[in-house]
Amino acid sequence: MARAYNFSAGPATLPEAVLRQAQAEMLDWNGVGASIVELSHRGAEFIGVAARAEADLRRLMSIPDDYAVLFLSGGATTQQALLALNFAAPGQAVDYVVTGHWSKTAIRQAGPYVDVHVAASSEAGGFRDIPPRESWSLSPGAAYVHITANETIHGVEYRQVPEVGEVPLFADFSSSIASEPIDVSRYGLIYAGAQKNLGPVGISVVIVRRDLLERAGQPRADIFTYASHAARDSMLNTPPTWNWYLLGLTVKWMLDEGGVEEFARRNAAKAALVYQAIDGSGGFYRNEVAPAVRSRMNIPFFLPDEQLTARFVSESKAAGLLALKGHKAVGGIRASLYNAMPVAGAQALVDFMRDFQQRNG
C-alpha cells in the first residue's frame, strides 16, 4: 500500500513509524497478551505508559518542574471553557486578542462565565495580520490574557511572545505545539488539542504553572477542576488510554528524530518551499497574510477563480495529495505542514502546483 501525502488540518497525518508500531502492538502490547486499549488505566502497565509520555513531553518541550502537565479528554474547545471556570472569578475581566476563527471560538466558550474584553482584533482587516502589541488595550486586574498562537484556518502565527506584564499569558497552541522550541516559562498556561502535532484526536494537553492551580475560580463540578486532575495524574476519571498511548509514541518519535530543534528546521524548509511557489507564481496563487506572521503549519492560498479551485482539489487528490480544500470559512486551498509531514510531501505539493499552473495558467 502506498500512503498518500495527507495535508489535513486535523485530524492530521501521523508518523508512519508510529502507526506501524501501534499496528504491531494492537493485539498484544508488550507481551501481556492484550491490547493496551484493553488494560486498566489504573494498572501498572498503563501507568508506566502515561508516565513515559509525560516525561518525554517534558523533555521534548523543556517544560519546567513548576508546571503541571495534564492529559485530558476532548479537544481544545473544551479547555477554552474550563480556563474561565478555573482561573477567573465570576464576572472578572479576561483579555482576548482576536486573530482568527479560533480566537473567536475561544471567546464564545469563555463568554458565559467572565467579562470578556477584546484587547485587540485584526478582524476588520480580514485576519491577515496580528495587531501590534502597542495597540493592545489590556484590562487592569484581568485574570489572564489569551492568544491563539497559530490560527489553523487563517494561517496567522505569532513569531514572538507578546509581553503582557504580571498577568499570566494563556495560549492555544493546538496547531503549532512542539513545532519549534518555545520558552514555556513565558506562559502561565499552554493548551493544545493533540490531533495536529502530538497524536490522535480525542485528547488534549494542558501545561499550567502550578501556582495558578491554587486559584479558586468559579463554582464547578470536580471533574472540571484542573487542580483535581493534576492531583490524580490526569486519572481523575478513565482517560482516553488509546489516544494517550499514541500520543506517547508520537512524542517519542519526535525525540528520536532530533526534537523540536530538528522539526523547527524541517518546518521552516517545508513552509519556505510552499510560500516560494505561491509568491513566484506571478499571481496565479496568492496568500493574503502579512509575510511577517505567515504560519509555518497552515498555509491558505487562493487561485484565480472557484472553477480552478475545484479542479485543483480534484486533481491533487487524484495525484495522492489529500485534504487540500480550504476551510469553509475562507475557501480556497489550505496545506497543513505539521511535524509528521515530510519535506518530500511539501516538495510533491510544490511540483503539483507548478504543473497545474502550466496547464491552467
- The whole-angstrom distance between residue 270's C-alpha and the CA centroid of its chain comes to 17
Task: Of 161, 205, 203, 200, give the one whose Cα is nearest residue 181.
Answer: 161
Whether a cis peptide bond, with omega within 30° of 0, leads into 200 is: no
Instruction: Give yes or no: 102 in active site.
Output: yes
Catalytic residue among 172, 252, 253, 325: 172
Instruction: Give yes or no: 252 in active site.
Output: no
Phi and psi at 182, nearest 5°, equal -135, 155
Q: Is 266 helix (H, G, I), strand (E, B) or coil?
A: helix
Cα–Cα distance measured from residue 226 to residue 231, given in angstroms and rounded to the nearest whole number: 9
Catalytic residue among 56, 196, 244, 325: 196
Q: Which residues contact 134 (CB under 8 A, 6 or more apart)?
A: none
Instruction: Give yes or no: 172 in active site.
Output: yes
Check: CB of residue 140 under 8 Å from CB of residue 129: no
Check: CB of residue 222 under 8 Å from CB of residue 31: no
Catalytic residue among 29, 95, 102, 270: 102
Phi and psi at 281, nearest 5°, equal -90, 0
Could you write out the DSSP letters of every residue in 71-121?
Answer: EEES-HHHHHHHHHHHHS-TT-EEEEEE-SHHHHHHHHHHTTTSEEEEEEE
Single-letter amino acid code for the residue at 228: S
Active-site residue numbers? 102, 172, 196
